[in-house]
Structure 1
Amino acid sequence: MKELERDLGLPSVLAISIGAMIGSGIFILPALALEIAGPAVVLAYLLAGLLVVPAALSKSEMATAMPEAGGTYIYIERGMGPLLGTIAGVGTWFSLSFKGALALVGGVPYLLLLFDLPLQPVALGLATLLILVNLVGAKQTGRLQLAIVVVMLAALGWFAAGSAPSVQSANFAGFLDSGVGGLLAATGLVFVSYAGVTKVASVAEEIEDPGRNIPLGILGSLVFTTALYVAIVTVLVGITDPGSVAGSLTPVAVAAEVTLGRAGVIAVILAAILALVSTANAGILSSSRYPFAMSRDKLAPPSLSTVNERFGTPVTSITLTGAVLLALIAFVPILDIAKLASAFQIMVFALINLAVVAFREGETAYDPEFTSPLYPWVQLFGAVTGVLLLTQMGIVALAGAAVITLGSVAWYLWYVRPRVRRDGVATDAIRRQVGRGALADVEADATDDGHEVLVALTKAVGEERERSLVALAADVVRPHDGRVVVVRFEEIPDQAPLTEAATVQSPADRSFEARVEALAAEFDVAVEADEVVSHDTKHAIVNFADHHDMDAILAEHEPLRLRSRLLGDPVDWVVRHAPCEVLLVDNVGYDAPTDVALSGGGGPYESRTVALADAIATANDGRISLWYPDDEGTTRHSRTIDDYQSELSSLLSVPVRAEPVRTDGGNLTRPDLLVRAGADHRLRNVLFDDRPMVPSPGCTTVTVYPGADRRPPLHRRLLERVVF
């Protein structure tokens, strides 16, 4: 496969980047920003340039690490995963479409200074022409782009140098009368002026010495363009009567006429038309490639990546982009177009900063030639200031950003998620961090001192099942030299006095005490017997555990029906109110289990279930089988799970093996005992829990409900459900 030749030096990189920026940002937006911030528009351009620096550094770093990939969407999708990749792709597509519409709506008035024509029809006609040009495959050449940049800079340089002596300081009176809010709103509006600063990354594969020339080209062009913008806007404000160009459709031409006369106006008109038509054409060309790229990544319908055999262009993608462009020109006011273009660009730049953090903190191979200084503070600053800037741009920008974000999320859930099985390095980094937290909990539980288990008997279960419960409790406490307290709870009617019931001891009671004494000798642990009579068994169990400082309650539990799970039953009440851990046993016998299965939903195993499984397997010289769903996860996901299971195995006292389990139970091997974690909210578990459910294995099953002080923090439980 033939590779592209690296023949673009630093001058070419600077020309591409500068050419991608200069356009609507200087020929249109100053007049709109003046209405918002007054003379402080000068500071707004400077501040916007500074706020772009973090994204410029981040994009430079990623471009040198992946010089062949190109494209903001690609970086974000690979770094943050398909969800944020979808948001970034749609957001960038709209941003470039809005920028193209802004260039045409703002560029036509300069043309109308020479010809008396209606604005909107001309803009629509030019847009249609450019769409057709893109459909048949015409491309800008590097020489044409360089020529446009030279003409623009010559005209703007002449305007700035020729007009500077006429600047009046009085025009800057009341510089900050609009306040900080006006300054930030104007900064957000002109932010799109710098949108093209990172576009050179899309040709990174053709740049010689990319580790040097990409960051120098991006940052150098940003510094140059910021200085140029500030100089031109300063001159524009300084040579015109206060407020005379605010709201004008041709502000630079109006200002040029004041100092340079008709020749200056002609030069500005020529530069403006060249720049804005070039910007609009580049906007259609680049924005139409985003649906194309997303389609190839299965984030959009396959028709959008279809290439026309005759013209060699993605006709469907270009047509869709063109339709959006025409609709914007026909129905959206220019100020709203400008605000929305900036809003979407701010969103994308914020995601660019977060993508660098994802690549740096993830486990994937990432070796950039250039690294952003002051990491991660620069990236966090860029992301936070981007969000803050959005909040100052008014309801139109906020609503547009919200609609695009929510629409992208809805599209992801409906179309992308069922089709795409991959995730970003950020998801993997979070997944590994969550796994490390779970492993730390397992280590902490292994050093837990003392253990006292209450075996709560709430009904006559028979001697064999009674023995099974005590045997299980004995295995749990044995590693800690703990104690088992076997209590028979008897509930009597509310009308019956508790004192009379409690003072009568039957032969059955004496037989119960004798059996418990025999079990203590058999299992070689401290076992005590007791009996509690109450009007409410569930309260009695919780109160006994609380007053005697029990570490766990162990009781029989039959699978609940749906109605019981929704409305609650006594055992469920105990789970929710117990001051300690609760172990509910589906009891079909317990006889020195040597094969203990630990069931999980695909994420980290709850630390208390691990401790219980390890204690039982150790007590019986057995082994642990780590059950996990046998689904088609991503390669990165599978590798992370393998690493987690390997580290978990090293923390346990017995042999461990991992065993994938199909959700239909078709490949189940029957263990001697199954240990699993209980859901932390019954209603959510019944109605909304979409985690794989393993069928009953036909053996005794222990469901573990950790006490409130042992439960992982809410944020980690939420992260587990999201990333695993």
Structure 2
Amino acid sequence: MKELERDLGLPSVLAISIGAMVGSGIFILPALALEIAGPAVIVAYLIAGLLVVPAALSKSEMATAMPEAGGTYIYIERGMGPLLGTVAGVGTWFSLSFKGALALVGGVPYLLLLFDLPLKPVALGLAAVLILVNLVGAKQTGRLQLAIVVVMLAALGWFAAGSAPGVRSANYVGFFDAGIGGLLAATGLVFVSYAGVTKVASVAEEVEDPGRNIPLGILGSLAFTTALYVAIVAVLVGITDPGSVAGSLTPVAVAAEVTLGQAGVVAVIAAALLALVSTANAGILSSSRYPFAMSRDRLAPPSLSAISDRFGTPAASITLTGAVLLVLIAFVPILEIAKLASAFQIMVFALINVAVVAFREGDAAYDPEFTSPLYPWVQVFGVVTGAVLLTQMGTVALAGTALITVGSVAWYLLYVRPRVSREGAATDAIRRRVGRNALTDVESAMAEDTREVLVALTKNVDEDRERSLVAMAADLVREDDGRVVAVRFEEIPDQAPLTEDATVQSASDISFETRTEALSAELGVEVEADEIVSHDTKHAVVNFAEHRGVDAVVAEHEPLRLRSRLLGDPIDWIVRHAPCDVLLVDNLGYDRPERIVLSADSGPYPPAAVTVAETIAAANDGAVSLWHPGDRRGTDRRRDAMDAYHAELSELLSVPARSESVRTDGGRQSRPDLLVRRGADGGLRHALFDDRPVVPSPGCTTVTVYPHESRRPSFARRLLERATF
């Protein structure tokens, strides 16, 4: 694959960045902002410049770590994954195209002050010329940009210096009459004036010495342009009569005529045309690199990443961007769409700050030459203020941004997802954080004692199954010198009275007590026998567990028929209302299990399940196998994170443990003695299907662990675990 030539030095970087900003932001938007905030528009420009600093620092850092074509798309895609990368790439591509079209259409009114020309044909002609310039090459583009910026700044400097003596302090009276609301609304409007500050990152692959030139270019141009904006707008407000500029299509020309006469108007017209043309030129240059970079990552058709043999530029990408620009100029109301573009730009800047955090906290290779100071507070500030500004953009802008986002998501689902299986650094960072939190919860659960376990016999079971339940409970309490309470719960009709002698002391009842005494001696654990008669077994079990303060309830549970799942089963009610953990046993026998399997379908292993598996293994000198599906599609990052999680969990356990990848396609798998798994979260899906089939079905006793409600992860955490693990 051909590489782009690095031939843009610091002067060209500064020129591209300044030229991308000094356009509509100074020659068009001040008139609109004055209508909203009055003289406080000066402060609005200053605040907007300060609010861009976090994104400028974040983008400077990422640009020196990944000096590749694509800029914002590259950073968000690598940091947040291909889905948000697609949203950022498509959205920023459109927003830059919108801003370029606005600059061209907004510049023509200045030209019409001198010549009687039709607006749209002139704008289309200028756009066509700039498209051809970009097709020729970035080096020529950088040189043209440098010349434009030098001439433009000279004209603006003359306007500011020549007009400053005419400033009248009376024009600043009632500076904050529009209030905070007006100031914030104006800040949101003029924010787009600084959007071009980071555009140079989109051509980072063509910048000489990117570790030095990119941060200097971005931060230097931002500081310079902020000072220039504040100075120009302060002079513009100070020399014109209140209200005379607000709403004008050529506000700077109106102001220049007051102090500099016709010569000043001509100079401003020349500066405005150069500034707006340079904004459009930088917009074509940078926006065309978005489909180019997305194509290289298979998020767009491969033809868009082709580089011209003759000119060394991404001709297909530039041509597509140019076509979109021409269509926008010809048919779309640019001012309204520019507001949509600026709203999306604010959102993208917020994502840039999040992406830096993802890279720093993740495990991806990330070695920037420049690092943002005051991390992560600068990034948090950028995200919060971006959200505040978005609320000031109006319903139409927010709805349009949502539409662009939905369209990008649809493109991802239909085109990208079948072709790309990458994930972002944020997913990896979140996964590792989830794993660390889960390990911390396991350590806390291991520190708790299990003093008493209730074996709830709610069904007529034979002696072998009865013994299995008691023996399992004994293994759970043995290490802590605890007690097993084996209770037979008998339910009688509602019309039958409950009396102290309601229970018939039959031979089988006496046998039950005798058997528990024998089991106590055999197992070396105190086993207490009891029997309770009630009208409602499930309430009786919960009441007994609460009265005795047991640490866990062990009960037998068989797969339910569909009717039982839909209408509810008594043991399911116990799970939801028990004051402690509940262990439901699919009882196929329990005889000193040595190979214990801990199985998880998604997410990390629940602490309660880990504790049960470890305790039983320790009681029988056994070992634990950490089962996890081995035939799922995953990335190298995911596999590395899962391996690290299993390794750390194995170190926490006091018994031998190893990670084991299992097959879910029915292939042969060694059979464990006992399998421990998490309980289902509930819901219609779990009611209709016997969900979470054991992976694979082991044909042995299975213990399903339901932790008490106070120890169950929140719904949001479960979603996060399922999404990342």
- Superposed CA deviations along residues 288-327 of structure 1, whole A, max 9, x for unmatched, are 3323322332334445546678987666655654454345
C-alpha spacing 1:306/1:201, structure 2 compared with 1 (3 Å):
closer
TM-score by length of 1: 0.93
Checking the alignment, whether the CA contact within 8 Å between 2:596 and 2:623 is kept in structure 1 is yes
Give the distance between the partners of 2:343 and 2:139, measured in 1 at CA: 28
Pairing of 1:647-662 with structure 2 (within 5 A): 647-662=648-663
Q: Distance in 1 between matches of 2:477 and 2:430?
A: 35
Q: Compute the displacement of 1:348 (Å).
A: 1.3
- Cα 1:291–1:689 change in 2 (3 A) is farther
* Secondary structure in 1 matching 2:386: helix
Q: Give the distance between the partners of 1:455 and 1:167, measured in 2 at CA.
A: 89
Partner of 2:643: 642
Deviations 1:639-669 (A, max 9, x none): 1111110000001122112111233232532
| Distance across 2 between alignment mates of 1:413 and 1:692 | 29
Amino acid of the structure 2 residue aligned with 1:171: N
Distance 1:132 1:19, change over 3 A: closer
Q: Is residue 69–residue 293 contact of structure 2 (8 Å, CA) maintained in 1?
A: no
1:112 maps to amino acid = L
The amino acid that maps onto 1:248 is S
Q: Are residues 420 and 561 of structure 1, via their aligned partners in 2, closer, same or farther at CA, if it must alter by over 3 Å?
A: farther
Aligned residues: 724
Q: Which amino acid aligns with 1:527?
A: V
- The one-letter code of the counterpart of 1:697 is P
| 2:288/2:321 contact within 8 Å kept | yes
Conserved in 1, the CA contact under 8 Å of 2:15 and 2:142? no
Which moves more between the two structures, 312-321 or 698-707? 312-321
Residue equivalent to 1:91:
91
Against the structure 1 CA distance between its residues 514 and 80, is the aligned structure 2 distance closer, same or farther, given a 3 Å change threshold?
same
Q: Measure the CA separation in 2 of the matches of 1:405 and 1:501.
A: 71
Alpha-carbon distance, 1:131 to partner: 5.1
Cross-structure match for 1:633: 634
Q: Give the distance between the partners of 1:418 and 1:607, measured in 2 at CA.
A: 36
Q: Give SS of 2:456's match.
A: strand
**8 Å Cα contact 2:19-2:278 kept in structure 1:** no
Q: 1:146 to 1:126 in 2, by over 3 A?
A: closer
**Residue 110 of structure 1 corresponds to which residue in structure 2?**
110
Quick check: 2:19–2:282 contact (8 Å CA) kept in 1? no
Cα 1:303/1:686, change in 2 over 3 Å: farther
Instruction: After TM superposition, list the pairs within 5 Å mapping 1:301-320 onto structure 2.
Output: 301-302=301-302, 304-305=304-305, 317-318=317-318
Counterpart code for 1:18: I
Q: Are 2:679 and 1:663 equivalent residues in the alignment?
A: no
Deviates more, 1:304-313 or 1:140-149: 304-313
Aligned to 2:82: 82
Residues 1:691 and 1:417: Cα distance change in structure 2 (over 3 Å): farther
CA distance in 1, matches of 2:380, 2:515: 65
Q: What percent of counterpart residues are identical?
A: 81
**Which SS does the other structure have where 1:540 is aligned?**
helix
Residues 224-623 of structure 1 correspond to what in structure 2 (within 5 A)?
Answer: 224-302=224-302, 304-305=304-305, 317-318=317-318, 321-322=321-322, 324-330=324-330, 332-499=332-499, 502-623=502-623
Deviates more, 1:333-342 or 1:409-418: 409-418
Which segment is superposed worse, 562-571 or 84-93? 562-571
> In the aligned structure 2, how far is the partner of 1:170 from the partner of 1:296?
57
Aligned CA distance change for structure 1 residues 496 and 690 (closer, same or farther; 3 Å):
closer
Once the two structures are TM-superposed, the CA of residue 349 in structure 1 deviates from its matched residue by 1.2
CA shift in 2, pair 1:325/1:11, >3 Å: closer
Pair 27,686 (structure 1): closer, same or farther in 2 beyond 3 Å: farther
5+ residue gaps in structure 2? none
Q: Mean alpha-carbon deviation: is it higher for 409-418 or for 34-43?
A: 409-418
SS of 2:711's partner is: coil
2-side partners of 1:514 and 1:382: how far apart? Answer: 72
In the alignment, the residues of structure 2 paired with residue 462 and residue 635 of structure 1 have an alpha-carbon distance, to the nearest angstrom, of 50
**Residues 703-718 of structure 1 correspond to what in structure 2 (within 5 A)?**
703-718=704-719
CA distance in 2, matches of 1:584, 1:164: 83
* Amino acid aligned to 1:698: G
The verdict on how the C-alpha distance between 1:600 and 1:337 changes in structure 2, with shifts beyond 3 A counting, is same
Q: Give the distance between the partners of 2:208 and 2:294, measured in 1 at CA.
A: 28
Following the alignment from structure 2 to structure 1, what is the Cα–Cα distance between the partners of residues 680 and 390? Answer: 39
- Of stretches 617-626 and 639-648 in structure 1, the one that deviates more from structure 2 is 617-626
Q: Is the 8 A contact 1:452 1:550 kept in 2?
A: yes
Give the corresponding residue for 2:24: 24
Cα offsets for 1:447-497 (capped at 9, x unmatched): 212331111111212111111111211111212222111111111111111
Seen in structure 2, the aligned counterparts of structure 1 residues 557 and 704 have a Cα distance that, compared at 3 Å, is same
Aligned to 2:153: 153
Inter-CA distance 437–138: structure 2 relative to 1 (3 Å threshold): closer
- Offset, 1:271: 2.4
Looking at structure 1, the residues matched to 601 and 329 of structure 2 have their Cα atoms a distance apart, in angstroms, of 51
The answer as to whether partners of 2:63 and 2:214 remain within 8 angstroms in 1 is: yes
Compare 39-48 and 86-95 and name the one that shifted more. Answer: 86-95
SS of structure 1 residue aligned to 2:675: strand
Say whether the 8 Å CA contact 1:169–1:238 is kept in structure 2: yes
DSSP 3-state at the match of 2:676: strand
What's the offset of the Cα at 1:63?
Answer: 2.1
Deviations 1:416-475 (Å, cap 9, x if unpaired)?
444432222222122111111111111112121233111111121211111111121111
RMSD: 2.7
Q: d(CA) in 1 for partners of 2:109 and 2:45?
A: 23
Equivalent pair of 1:458/1:537 in contact (CA under 8 Å): yes
* Equivalent-residue separation in structure 2 for 1:91 and 1:692 (angstroms): 42
Provide the rounded CA distance (Å) in 2 between the counterparts of 1:246 and 1:397. 22
C-alpha displacement at 1:121, in angstroms?
4.4
Residue 328 of structure 1: how far off its partner (Å): 3.9
SS of residue paired to 2:258: helix
Distance 2:93 2:52 in 1: 19
1:452–1:552: 8 Å Cα contact kept in structure 2? yes
591-600 vs 56-65, greater mean Cα deviation? 56-65
Instruction: Could you tell me which runs of 5 or more consecutive residues in structure 1 were left unpaired when the two chains were aligned.
Output: none
Q: Secondary structure at the match of 2:565?
A: helix
- Going from structure 1 to structure 2, the CA distance change for 1:572 and 1:135 (only over 3 Å counts) comes to farther
Maintained 8 Å contact 1:104/1:127? yes
1:189 is aligned to 189
Residue range with higher mean Cα deviation, 663-672 or 462-471:
663-672
Q: Which moved more, 1:30-39 or 1:333-342?
A: 333-342
User: CA offsets, 1:218-271, max 9 Å, x none?
Assistant: 222111111111111112222222222211112122222222233322222222
Q: Equivalents in 2 of 1:148, 1:100: separation in Å?
A: 16
2: distance between equivalents of 1:310 and 1:712?
60
Q: CA deviation at 1:563?
A: 4.3
Aligned pairs (5 A) from 1:215-226 = 215-226=215-226
